[in-house]
Every structure is written in structure tokens, then in C-alpha cells.
Copies of this chain bind each other. A is one copy, B any other.
């Protein structure tokens, strides 16, 4: 339909990078485009740490579960939900008042704000011919990642993002049928569950083709396995210690 929609429709995560650098100018354009995303009441509740130092990247790769493309990419961004600036503003302007930075509302605001900015940045990077992949693995050892990056109270790292020139051309992974996610007027539970059945078949065929006929599980079974596996259960305690999501 247009250049931008074509770009969005051609997204695929990149997990192998050429050694070519990402310039400061590119990085700044990418983050500036991130900043132009909407922000809840203009709070701009996020920060991003750009890591280029090979040792630090290597340590982050290890902490994220040995994802070696973090070593390989020239720049690794760690996106953080950040209420630190706001909390400092309270100390400066209204020190006698109670702060609600620890409310679930502000946890949602910061989590959404950082994600709006990160996705704009991802789109900007791709428009420059760069590839990206989000790395949720930095939440696995979130305490160690936070210490390594010197993150203060009311800042938490939500995901990393590798950026660099692609050294692979993966296929585009099919998404759920549109009718699974787009509802009209009210939530259509039956329609969404029927669409999942279609997607299960589609993904089995897609994965089987890509793996030369190896047996694969339907998407819904993979999802069931994922949701029944305890994952990152220390997050609740960590976030509360950092001052988030308490009431």
C-alpha cells in the first residue's frame, strides 16, 4: 500500500549480523524516532542503554542465556522502563508528598511507554536497512543485568534489542489469522478459538516445510507448554524491590 506498510509487513527478527558498524548518527536517528512515539501524559518513562563494549556485550549475552548474536551485533540496546526521573521530580518539587510511582498504573504506563518507543526505534532501524531482534532473555537474570548497567531504583530492563546489518534472510513467520485478534464491537471468544485451530494447522505445515518434514507440535500446544512452565518467577520480588508494581 505504501513504503512504510511494506516495511512493516516485511519484518523478521535477525539473529546473525555482519561486522559492519552502526554509526552514532544512525543510532541517534533510531532513538530520536523512538522518542517521537506517543507517551502517556508525556511522562516519557523510559531509558535505553546502548552497549558497544565487547566485554559488556559478551557478559549480557551470557546473562541472557548465551544468545551469541548479542556478541555479534555491533550495538545492543537495553530498553528500560524508567520512573527514576519522575521520582526525582517529586523529591525536588513536592518532597513532602507521597509518591505513587509504585502503583500498578505507573508500572503499566512505564512498560507501555518504553515499548512504544522501542517499536518506533525498531521500525526506524529497519527503514535504514538494519535488522533487529528483541531479547526477552535479559529478564532471566534481571538483577545481574541491572547491576551491570548501574540501573537505579524505579528503572527495570524489559528487553534487549540487537541492531546490525543482517547476515541472513529468514522467512516471514505467519501470524495468527486476522480474525483471531481483530474483534468487532465486542470480544468474540468462539471466533478467536476457531482461528487458533486454523493457525495450528498452518504453523505445523510451515514449520514442517522449514525443517524438511520433521514432526512439529501445533502452536497451541507449544503455547500450553510455555504457559505451564514457570518462568522468571523472581520478577515480582525484583520489581517490588526496585519500587514498581506494589499497590
Report which A residues bind B (CB closer than 8 A).
Answer: 1-5, 7-11, 13, 27-29, 31-33, 35-38, 40-44, 46-53, 56, 80, 82-90, 92-94, 97-101, 103-106, 108-109, 111-112, 115-120, 122-124, 127-128, 133-134, 136, 139, 148-152, 155, 158-159, 172-173, 175-176, 178, 180-187, 189, 192-193, 196, 219-221, 223-233, 235-236, 239, 245, 247
Contacts and interface: CB of A to CB of B under 8 A. Distances in A.
A226 B103 CA distance: 12
A10 B4 CA distance: 14
Given A93-B224, A105-B232, A136-B40, A33 B50 contact: no
B116 A176 contact: no
Given A11-B38, A38-B134, A173-B42, A104 B235 contact: yes
Nearest to A11: B36
Contact of A103 (B117, B136, B230): B230
A181 B105 contact: no
25 contacts: A3-B127, A5-B29, A5-B127, A11-B36, A11-B37, A35-B175, A35-B176, A48-B181, A50-B184, A53-B185, A85-B180, A86-B224, A89-B221, A89-B223, A101-B227, A103-B235, A103-B236, A104-B239, A105-B231, A116-B118, A116-B119, A149-B187, A150-B186, A233-B247, A245-B245
A191 B158 CA distance: 22
Instruction: Please tell me how many copies of the chain the complex holds.
Output: 2
Given A4-B127, A122-B38, A219-B42, A56 B185 contact: yes
A112 B175 contact: no
A196 B35 contact: no
A31 to B, nearest CB: 5
A119 B115 contact: yes
A220 to B, nearest CB: 4
A115 B180 CA distance: 17
Nearest to A105: B232
Contacts of A37: 8, 11, 119, 122
A89 to B, nearest CB: 4
